[in-house]
Amino acid sequence: MRNYIAMILQSEKATGQNSAIVCARDIHNTMNLSNSYPSVCSAMGSVPGYEKYDVVYAPPSGKSSTVTYRYRFGGGNNDADA
């Protein structure tokens, strides 16, 4: 799962983007998982090489389909990246 997320992030970075927004629902659905949101959310927070991220949205549980992270690439200081 982490490898799949890393692949998405590498692809976004290769296009020259400064950041990428990833939602747990998108990962879950694309991988055809069933009732695995806690695992997806845990994986999103521990992608090797992509430790710089902001939590765009997370419910109190922190483990749902709506969990969304913005991963930042490089050393840019632009907070308006999207």
Domain-located, residue 77: no
81 located within any domain: no
What pLDDT, on the 0 to 100 scale, is given for residue 82? Answer: 43
pLDDT of 79 > 50? The answer is no
**3-class SS letters over the chain:** CHHHHHHHHHHHHHCCCCEEEEEHHHHHHHCCCCCCHHHHHHHHCCCCCCCCEEEEECCCCCCCCCCEEEEECCCCCCCCCC
Indicate if the pLDDT at residue 45 is higher than 50. Answer: yes
Give the pLDDT mean for 58-67: 94
Q: Which residues form the domain of 30?
A: 2-72
Q: Tell me how many domains the chain contains.
A: 1
Structural domain includes residue 82: no
pLDDT at 50 over 80: yes
The pTM (predicted TM-score) of the whole model is: 0.84
pLDDT band at 67 (very low <50, low <70, confident <90, very high): very high
